[in-house]
Amino acid sequence: MSPKRAKSKREPAQTGVNEIDRLADLRPCTIQDYIVGASAYVRRQSALAAGPKKASQIRLSNALARALAADMESHLPQLAGRLITDEQKVAGGLRTANADVSESHVLDGLRLAVELKPINLAVGRALWNRFGDIRTFAVNIHLKFPFAMVGGVLVIPTYEETGTSAAVAAEIAEVDEPEEIIQSEDPAGQSPASTAPCRKGTTHLIERAIERLIRAGGRKSEAEAAHLLEGIAVVVYDPDSATILSDLPKPGSDLRWEEFVRDLIASYRARFED
């Protein structure tokens, strides 16, 4: 049985990008399938109109959710058909939240809540916002459901475009970024619109984020701090080759996709397995 999907939601329009449109029909959808689609989006997004661009984002987010659900179900078959892979409102200790992958049980309430935070554009300005988002998500959920497993996923390309209209729009969307971070990523004080289109590497930013994310994961029991997560994944990929980097994060950091899935499964078995 495939993961649950909200019946009230219509499929987004076709994007015209085959690598993205094909994702909806893949059963199962793997993390590599998602990376192929995300890579095509990064390479071609500047040529997409607003409608196909929004449809691409929706299709990619759903594919990432289904990839996680498929990997978890392969190890825990009892979850088949119980994981919700559409955005779902869940109760939190501070406010309601939207979980991208979730599971609830009649006895336990919320068992699993994962927030997916792919960053396609404006990596330098979005990264720390996304880092804060998943930490806040963890606190909010754990205050209400201390036994729940909370996960966060960051998917980040190895470069970002600057100087294009799409890049400018993406940076405007991140206007709530702390001032000190904006200045540190733009020491010359130039606005994105004032520069010629170019690529800028992001791996140095990702390495800085990894140092902090390592300390944010590893919640082994319900007695540990609410701001920690049971699992965090950082998936770094090269859009040109559509491949996941094998050495960033480093194996053994507990941040690689397969390590993230392993940690969620271990926590689930320890807390909920019948």
Tell me the backbone φ, ψ of residue 96, rounded to 5 degrees.
Answer: -70, 150
Return the minimum-mean-pLDDT range out of 20-24, 40-44, 144-148, 175-179.
175-179
Local confidence band at 11 (pLDDT 50, 70, 90 cut-offs): confident
Q: What residue ranges in 165-245 does DSSP mark as E strands?
A: 198-201, 231-238, 243-244
**Domains of the chain, residue spans:** 83-271
Residue 229 pLDDT more than 50?
yes
What is the chain's length? Answer: 274
Q: What residue ranges in 106-238 does DSSP mark as E strands?
A: 109-118, 149-157, 159-162, 198-201, 231-238
What value does the mean pLDDT take over residues 134-161? 96
Rounded to an integer, what distance in angstroms lies between the CA atom of residue 134 and that of residue 155?
Answer: 13
Return the minimum-mean-pLDDT range out of 4-13, 46-55, 90-99, 209-218.
4-13
Tell me the backbone φ, ψ of residue 87, rounded to 5 degrees.
Answer: -55, 130
Return mean pLDDT, the chain: 87
**Residue 191: its pLDDT value, please?**
44
For tokens 């078959």, the residue is 77
Residue 148 pLDDT more than 70?
yes
Rounded to an integer, what distance in angstroms lies between the CA atom of residue 158 and that of residue 243?
Answer: 10
Residue 5 pLDDT more than 80?
no
How far does the chain reach from its first CA to its final CA, in angstroms? 19
**Residue 182: its pLDDT value, please?**
32
Local confidence band at 43 (pLDDT 50, 70, 90 cut-offs): very high
Q: What residue ranges in 35-143 does DSSP mark as E strands?
A: 88-90, 97-99, 101-105, 109-118
Task: Specify whether the CB–CB gap between 100 and 62 falls below 8 A.
Answer: no
